[in-house]
């Protein structure tokens, strides 16, 4: 079925709240074989809401509306819908009872406002705290869902999608996969896939920069499940063949999660030493649930004295090569690996800017080192962008190098940010 999404709330237009609910809903709907033709965001303006609602009803086979169902004065969705569709507000006793139970259980004062819904509304979850509902108008089902992401997702998965499946007798079979790439620009990625885009109108390829990565989303759809699966498999195989070494994750698996999985499979552990990234690498690693099983420690050694005291970097190395150099990065990686007793160590030192660069070492110069019991290698990188972007690229490149080593045994990072040959440290 072809539908639209209408998100309501001044906070969305002002940027105070990111509209993650619409993207979540669109993703779920697409995966279930439905097409979202339009996503509209509107503020708490009765006239604007009415205009958007009536326009969507003329175009769509179903409509999903989120936000504005709460108990405060700026939650006006129910009142506006009642007036726009000529359906008076009616008190729903079951919803009111649940509100009173919630207040008695210590949920705080709510008031009965949320129990007054447009006439003809069917409550989707009478037992829940958030009373989403469906209203059919002129043959179009309109689903009114709370704007809180987890509440919306619960309604969508358990109530909206099953109902749409019963209504849709022409349901498409959809297969989709997201490939996370690092080390190629969006233009380079598009160039490699351009020919594939023209081969089959039932296949689609989307490109979505998600700094510092590029996401490639491939989708196949059709009415024949077996045929969709075959064509989808062929497309995924083609993407894997074209970008194998640059694929850092698939679907929800992040680069750091992939590194953790690879280390766990090998019984390995890693420790990291950071200077210019200021703990960003360790922070990314520890976002992964269960990372304590494969991550030992992260040391932020920002000053030269800290590099000497906590990582065992030789003062003579600092004096001869400078803090931003391959030998220092190598000694940082070796030092943290020895201190932690891990099989792998990563070291990062560089110039994140916006000042501090020179002709020989401009802003964006970063040295990253990978240390293992067999070998320590260091490499020079030239990262573009702001201070934050350089730091993000450095943390990503360090993780990616470890991934490449775990998957392919490589001591060479091998992508467009690498500025010179690998150097022994």
**Could you read off the pLDDT of 372-398 as tens digits, one per residue?**
999 999 999 999 999 999 999 999 999
Q: 197-227: per-residue pLDDT in tens?
A: 777 777 888 888 899 999 999 988 888 889 9
Kindly tell me if the per-residue pLDDT of 424 is higher than 60: no
100-116 CB burial, b ≥16 within 10 A, e <16? eeeeeeeeeebeebbbb
At 42 the pLDDT is 95
Phi, psi dihedrals of residue 268, rounded to the nearest 5°? -100, 165
Fold for domain 2-167?
Molybdenum Cofactor Biosythetic Enzyme; Chain A (3.40.980)
At 195 the pLDDT is 80
Strand stretches in 71-139, DSSP E: 89-91, 116-118, 122-123, 133-137
| Cα distance between residue 411 and residue 98, in whole Å | 61
Kindly tell me if the per-residue pLDDT of 422 is higher than 60: no
pTM (whole model) above 0.85: no
Adjacency order of strands within the sheet including 270-274: 295-300, 270-274, 344-350, 365-371, 376-382, 423-424
Instruction: Show the 3-state SS of 158-226.
Output: HHHHHHHHHHCCCCCEEEEEEEEECCCCHHHHHHHHHHHHCCCCCEEEEEEEECCEEEEEEEEEECCHH
Q: 117-172: per-residue pLDDT in tens?
A: 999 999 988 776 566 899 999 999 999 998 888 888 888 988 998 888 888 766 67
Structure-block tokens of residue 46? 């009765």
Dihedral angle sign, alpha carbons of residues 375, 378, 379, 381: positive
At 314 the pLDDT is 98
| Cα distance between residue 299 and residue 357, in whole Å | 24
At 119 the pLDDT is 94
CATH level 2 (architecture), domain 255-424? Alpha-Beta Complex (3.90)
70 compared with 353, residue with greater pLDDT: 353
The proportion of the chain whose per-residue pLDDT surpasses 70, expressed as a percent, equals 96
Per-domain boundaries in the chain: 2-167, 173-250, 255-424
Over residues 325-349, the mean pLDDT reads: 98
29-54 CB burial, b ≥16 within 10 A, e <16? bbebbbbbeeebbbebeeeebbebbe
Kindly tell me if the per-residue pLDDT of 425 is higher than 70: no
Dihedral angle sign, alpha carbons of residues 101, 107, 112, 116: negative
pLDDT band of residue 241 (cuts 50, 70, 90) is: very high
Q: 26-67: per-residue pLDDT in tens?
A: 988 888 888 899 999 999 999 999 999 999 999 999 999 999
Fold for domain 173-250?
Alpha-Beta Plaits (3.30.70)
Whose CA is closest to 372, among 400, 351, 345?
345
| Cα distance between residue 150 and residue 132, in whole Å | 13
pLDDT band of residue 423 (cuts 50, 70, 90) is: very low
At 112 the pLDDT is 84
Whose CA is closest to 110, among 124, 118, 100?
100
Q: 263-318: per-residue pLDDT in tens?
A: 999 999 999 999 999 999 999 999 999 999 999 999 999 999 999 999 999 999 99
Kindly tell me if the per-residue pLDDT of 97 is higher than 70: yes
Greatest mean pLDDT among 175-189, 221-235, 342-356, 404-418: 342-356
Cα torsion through 59, 63, 67, 71, rounded to 10: 110
Adjacency order of strands within the sheet including 213-222: 203-210, 213-222, 173-181, 247-250
Dihedral angle sign, alpha carbons of residues 5, 22, 188, 177: negative
């Amino acid at each position: 079925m072809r539908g639209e999404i209408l998100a309501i709330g001044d906070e969305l237009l002002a940027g105070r709240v990111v509209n993650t609910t619409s993207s979540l809903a669109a993703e779920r709907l697409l995966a279930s074989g439905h097409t979202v033709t339009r996503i509209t965001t509107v503020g708490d303006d009765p006239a604007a809401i009415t205009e958007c609602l009536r326009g969507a009803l003329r175009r769509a086979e179903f409509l999903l509306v989120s936000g504005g169902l709460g108990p405060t004065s700026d939650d006006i969705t129910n009142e506006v819908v009642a007036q726009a569709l000529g359906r008076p507000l009616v008190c729903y006793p079951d919803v009111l009872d649940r509100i009173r139970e919630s207040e008695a259980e210590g949920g705080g004062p709510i008031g009965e406002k949320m129990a007054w819904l447009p006439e003809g509304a069917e409550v989707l979850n009478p037992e829940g705290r958030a009373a989403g509902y469906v209203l059919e108008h002129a043959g179009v089902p309109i689903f009114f869902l709370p704007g809180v992401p987890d509440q919306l997702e619960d309604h969508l998965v358990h109530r909206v999608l099953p109902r749409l499946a019963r209504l849709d007798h022409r349901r498409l079979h959809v297969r989709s996969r997201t490939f996370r790439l690092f080390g190629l620009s969006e233009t380079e990625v598009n160039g490699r896939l351009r020919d594939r885009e023209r081969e089959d109108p039932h296949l689609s390829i989307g490109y979505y920069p998600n700094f510092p990565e590029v996401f490639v989303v491939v989708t196949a759809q059709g009415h024949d499940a077996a045929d969709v699966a075959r064509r989808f498999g062929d497309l995924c195989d083609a993407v894997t063949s074209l970008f194998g070494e640059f694929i850092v994750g698939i679907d929800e698996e992040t680069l750091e999660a992939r590194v953790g999985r690879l280390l766990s499979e090998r019984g390995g552990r890693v420790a990291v030493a950071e200077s210019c990234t200021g703990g960003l690498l360790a922070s990314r690693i520890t976002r992964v649930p269960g990372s304590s099983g494969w991550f030992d420690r992260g040391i932020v050694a920002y000053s030269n004295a800290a590099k000497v005291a906590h990582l065992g970097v030789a003062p003579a190395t600092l004096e001869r090569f400078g803090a931003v150099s391959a030998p220092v990065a190598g000694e940082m990686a070796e030092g943290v690996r020895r201190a932690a007793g891990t099989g792998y160590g990563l070291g990062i030192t560089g110039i994140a800017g916006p000042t501090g660069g020179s002709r020989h070492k401009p802003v964006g110069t970063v040295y990253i080192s990978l240390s293992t019991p067999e070998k320590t290698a260091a490499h020079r990188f030239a990262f573009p962008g702001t201070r934050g972007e350089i730091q993000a690229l450095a943390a990503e490149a360090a993780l990616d190098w470890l991934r490449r080593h775990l998957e392919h045994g490589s001591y060479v990072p091998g992508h467009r940010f690498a500025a010179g040959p690998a150097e022994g440290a």
